[in-house]
Structure 1
Amino acid sequence: MTGNHPDTDGTQGLDPQQLGTYFVLMEAVSLLQHHVEQQLRAEGDISSVQFQLLARLAADDGQLTMTQLADGVVYSRSGLTYQAGLLEKAGLITRGSSPDDERATLVTITEKGLALVGGLLPGHIQVVRRLLLDPLTDDDLRQLGDIMTRVRDHMRAQPPRSAAPRKRPAGPTSPAPATTQH
């Protein structure tokens, strides 16, 4: 997995600096996500994914389609459907047909959902500031923002997950015609 020579599958490995950077990034993201998750569970009894969905809706005039939400928070269709069901049951969102596209489901944040996001935001900001922003200078923050924007844009150049074809089980797609013997 390290080195500049191609691996047996033809891919080039990572040098020690690349590997170290990758591991540091993954550890920092995991630590931040853990603390964010703790804050959201303690203060709002919701997950970070649920908070992302509500915050995205609140930031986008309160309404998005399920596809827009899935692409925005990088979440699977089935996972989003499940999370939306939980949020709807809690009275934090509603789902209905889109007036613009009958195939689309429109998700709308409720007043209760907006109030929850507003109540959680101060603690959320505090965690993000304490863990991510406080150790950075203004120049560090600008550079990190530039770097992560380039990385995100590079990753987003790929088709969104919601556009990926669904995997079908292997095997015949329709039953074989019945044969009769005479």
Structure 2
Amino acid sequence: MNDALEPRQLEAYFVLMEAVSLLQHSVEQQLRTEGGISYVQFQLLARLAAVDEPLTMTQLADGVVYSRSAVTYQAAQLEEAGLITRASSPDDERATLVTITAAGRALVDRVLPGHVQVIRPMLFDPLTDEDLDQLGHIMTRVRDHMRAQPPRSASRRRPTKPSP
């Protein structure tokens, strides 16, 4: 088995990663400027704003594809800013429920128009309707393939090294 990528696979990979980096950089700048939040924080707030019920920390971590510890850190910052609340689940003492506050919802509503103004020209304007359909199908297939693996939050943790 050959471990090297074919030239066209390598090219597709680099083009994809460059496009994602360029888009993410512009989105990150817009969110920091208009909302004082990071992209990860926006993802958490947007996910919470999209549902009418609290989500667990694990659901948030799986949804944004970050580790539980990274999401916990980001959630602490959002809670300190008054954008979310966290509380123990009445059904499962191990679970923490996260809810967006009115201030968090207002922040999402405030930054979303600028978010769209960044995304539309960069990502969607160069695409035809057919391109958009194809891109959606391709990326859904790739995402679903990747999501068939256990979520990061469910991955086994590496054992810690014993202290000397």
Query: How many residue pairs are counted as aligned between the two chains?
Result: 163
Q: What is the CA–CA distance in structure 1 between the aligned matches of 2:91 and 2:52, rounded to whole Å?
A: 16
Once the two structures are TM-superposed, the CA of residue 102 in structure 1 deviates from its matched residue by: 1.5
Pairing 1:67-106 to 2, within 5 Å after superposition: 67-106=58-97
Identity %: 74
Q: State the alpha-carbon separation in 1 of the partners of residues 103 and 97 from structure 2.
A: 18
1:109 matches 2:100: yes
Residue 48 of structure 2 is matched in structure 1 by 57
Matched with 1:175 is none
Gaps of at least 5 residues in structure 1 are 7-11, 173-182
- Larger proportion of helix: 2
Report which structure shows greater RCO (CA 8 Å, sep ≥6): 2
Larger C-alpha radius of gyration, 1 or 2? 1
Deviation at 1:56, TM superposition (A): 0.5
Q: Give 1:57 deviation, angstroms.
A: 0.5
| Aligned pair partner of 1:145 in 136, 145, 157 | 136
Structure 2: any 5+ residue segments left out of the alignment?
Answer: none
Please give the TM-score of this superposition, normalised by the length of structure 2: 0.96
Structure 1 outlier segments of 4+, above 3 Å = none
Q: Work out the CA distance in 1 between the residues paired with 2:16 and 2:59.
A: 27
| Residue correspondence of structure 1 range 165-176 to structure 2 within 5 A | 165-171=156-162
Q: Secondary structure at the match of 1:113?
A: helix
- Partner of 2:57 in structure 1? 66
